[in-house]
Amino acid sequence: MRVPPVLFIAWAHVTNRLRQTFIGVIGVATGVGFTIMISGVMEGSQRQFVGTLIDAMPHITITDERLSVSLQPAEQVYGAAQRSNFTATEKRPGISNSNLVLGSLRNWLPGAITPSVKVTAMVYSGNARFGVTVTGIDPRQEETVSKLAKQIVAGELYGLSRGSNAVLLGQALATKIGARVGSTLTITPGTGAPVSASVAGIYKSGVREVDERRIYSLMRTAQMLAGQPDLVNEMRIQLNDAFVAPEVASRVQSQIGYRAIPWQEANADLLSSFKVQEKITSVIMAAMMLASTFAIYSIISTITNEKRNDIAIMKSLGMKEYFVQTIFIIEAAMIAVVGIPVGWLLGYLLCVGMTHIKYSNPITEGTLAIAIYYSPVHYIVVALITLACCLLSAFLPARKASRVHPVDIIRGAA
């Protein structure tokens, strides 16, 4: 087999400068390793967070806000304010003909839907009072639209059907008011008479906002709190694929004329913080890439400077410019080809190491292990970008070297 002379010469250059080559390999490996780690942590935490979010809340929530034939601009802008402003009418509008609506949506929805009743209320404990939302549900259907059954940490979901006015409390609220399974508490609606309820169970969703404020009861209990016996003012949809929620929501909305909010919209603030996070991540990754690129650049520059005599004679002997240039680009490729797998290993080990770090998340409760998303895509993409950067960074010094005029060197060396 005949080894092309470019490879032969490139190999000799890198193997005769082991210290420099080693530094280059470390530079590339560091860039690759940390970039892989950052990608894994970022994607891991986003997926973990989105996963928690999807588990904790309906994929689509249909409210009783009726969309008139076309929304008035003011309603579009101040929609939320208007919706909560229901004390004036004293009566919640509700979703009319809820059974018909449910039937027609069940025909095509790629998932499950259940009606519920949502009432805002107060819970008193000693001198403290806590604003809560009582969500009236049907325990038999609840399993199809939420993970509530799995989130019960004490008592049970079907406890709601036993006893009169049974409720489920979030763990955070239960702790605050010192309630346990079997305790009784008084729930006072915004308008209407207080209702005495017994705690049938305690759940923990992991989302603080939910665990502190949401109380589950039977629909009947919630309707009683609202003072409207047949009220249905919310429908919750669980989709087979949470990520098609926006499309499904807009179809639902145009079919039934009530506002349907996909989970992405409900959490737009949180999700938009990911965008910022992604930008910061990109900047960090670019800096890492720059580090490895610069390592290659300085090494190839050094080699080409040291090798001016060799370049001069190679060109005198009849080697062409692209040929000389290729030698140095291959050298960069060789360093990258060794550095990348080392970087893969480093990245993997860093990811494994990161999983041992615990952090407390301001959105969810308690401490969590950092979630790493392991994906071969990260490894491949980072490798390709690094290789491209290495070749590009070698290109300039290699081209400069290949343009050395042999006569200039030969005169100088005599």
Partner 1 sequence: MSEVVVETKGLVRRVESGATMATIVNGIDLTVYKGEFLAITGPSGSGKSSLLYLIGLLDAPTEGEILICGQATSSMSNSERADMRLTKLGFVFQFHFLLPEFTALENVMLPMQTLGTLSMAEMHERGAKLLTSLGLGDQLNRMPSQLSGGQRQRVAIARALANDPAVIVADEPTGNLDTVSTDQVFAILRDVANSGRTVIVVTHDVSLAARADRRVNVVDGKISGIFVQEHGKAPAEQPSETAKA
Where does this chain bind partner 1 (CB under 8 A)?
1-2, 4-5, 8-9, 12-13, 16, 309-310, 312-321, 323, 406-407, 410-411, 413-414
* In the complex, minimum distance from the CB of residue 330 to partner 1, in angstroms, rounded to a whole number: 15
Give the residue from 24, 44, 31 showing the smallest Cα distance to 344. Answer: 31
* Cα pseudo-dihedral 87, 93, 94, 97, rounded to 10: 170
Between 132 and 324, CB nearer to partner 1? 324
Cβ count within 10 A of residue 110? 10
* In the complex, minimum distance from the CB of residue 323 to partner 1, in angstroms, rounded to a whole number: 7
Between 80 and 414, CB nearer to partner 1? 414
Question: Residue 198 pairs with which residues in a beta bridge?
Answer: 166, 184
Q: Which residues contact 357 (CB under 8 A, 6 or more apart)?
A: 369, 370
* In the complex, minimum distance from the CB of residue 307 to partner 1, in angstroms, rounded to a whole number: 9
CA distance 162 to 106: 28
Between 318 and 376, CB nearer to partner 1? 318
In which region does residue 165 sit, left (phi positive, over 0), alpha (psi from -120 to 50) or beta (all else)? left
Q: Strand 128-137 vs strand 214-218: parallel, antiparallel, or unpaired?
A: parallel
* In the complex, minimum distance from the CB of residue 13 to partner 1, in angstroms, rounded to a whole number: 7
Between 148 and 319, CB nearer to partner 1? 319
Between 4 and 353, CB nearer to partner 1? 4
* CB contact at 8 A, 224 and 187: no
Between 279 and 403, CB nearer to partner 1? 403
* In the complex, minimum distance from the CB of residue 398 to partner 1, in angstroms, rounded to a whole number: 17
* CB contact at 8 A, 105 and 168: no
The span from the first CA to the last CA of the chain, in angstroms, equals: 38
The SS3 of residue 40 is: helix
| Tokens linked to 253 | 């909305």
Between 357 and 407, CB nearer to partner 1? 407
* In the complex, minimum distance from the CB of residue 413 to partner 1, in angstroms, rounded to a whole number: 4
* In the complex, minimum distance from the CB of residue 308 to partner 1, in angstroms, rounded to a whole number: 11
CA distance 188 to 168: 16
